Amino acid sequence: MPRSNTAETGDRLSESALLVLAALAGGAKHGYAIIQEIEREAAQRMGPGTLYGIISRLEGASLIEPLEMEERGRVPYRITGAGRRVLTEQLANLRRYQTALKALAAR
Amino acid sequence: MSPQLAEFLVRLHGKRWRERYGTEFTALLVELPATPRTIADALWSALTSRGAEIAIVFGALIACLAIGYVNLNANEIQPPLLLIFVANAVFIVLRPRLAWFWMALFGLTVVASYVIVAPFGIAGVDPPKHTYEALIALVPSVVEGLLVLGARAAIIGLRRSG
CA atoms within 13 A on the CB side of B123: 7
pLDDT digit string, tens, across residues B29-59: 999 999 999 999 999 999 888 877 888 889 9
% chain B with pLDDT above 90: 61
ipTM entry: 0.80
Q: Answer yes or no: do A49 and B21 touch at CB < 8 A.
A: no
pTM: 0.62
CB A77 within 8 A of CB A22: no
Three-state DSSP string of B59-84: HHHHHHHHHHHHHHHCCCCHHHHHHH
Shortest CA distance from B36: residue in chain A:
A47
Q: Is the pLDDT score of B6 beyond 80?
A: yes
Beta bridge partners of A77: A29, A66
CB < 8 Å to A51, chain B: 28
Q: Is A2 exposed, middle or buried (0-12, 13-18, 19+ CB in 10 A)?
A: exposed
Q: How far is CA A48 from the centre of its chain?
A: 15
Domain ranges of chain A: 12-106
Shortest CA distance from A31: residue in chain B:
B28
- Architecture of the domain spanning A12-106: Orthogonal Bundle (1.10)
pLDDT digit string, tens, across residues B55-85: 888 999 999 999 999 999 988 889 999 999 9
Report the C-alpha dihedral over residues B132, B135, B136, B142, rounded to 10 degrees: -170
Identify the band that residue A99 occupies on the pLDDT scale cut at 50, 70 and 90: very high
Would strands A64-66 and A77-79 be described as parallel, antiparallel, or unpaired? antiparallel
Instruction: Name the B residues in 45-64 with CB < 8 Å from any A CB.
Output: 45-46, 48
Question: Rounded to whole angstroms, how far apart are CA atoms B52 and B162?
Answer: 30
Q: Is the pLDDT score of A2 beyond 70?
A: no
CB B142 within 8 A of CB B103: yes
Q: Answer yes or no: do B42 and A48 touch at CB < 8 A.
A: yes
Q: What is the mean pLDDT of chain B?
A: 90
Per-residue model confidence (pLDDT) at position A11? 53
Identify the band that residue B156 occupies on the pLDDT scale cut at 50, 70 and 90: confident
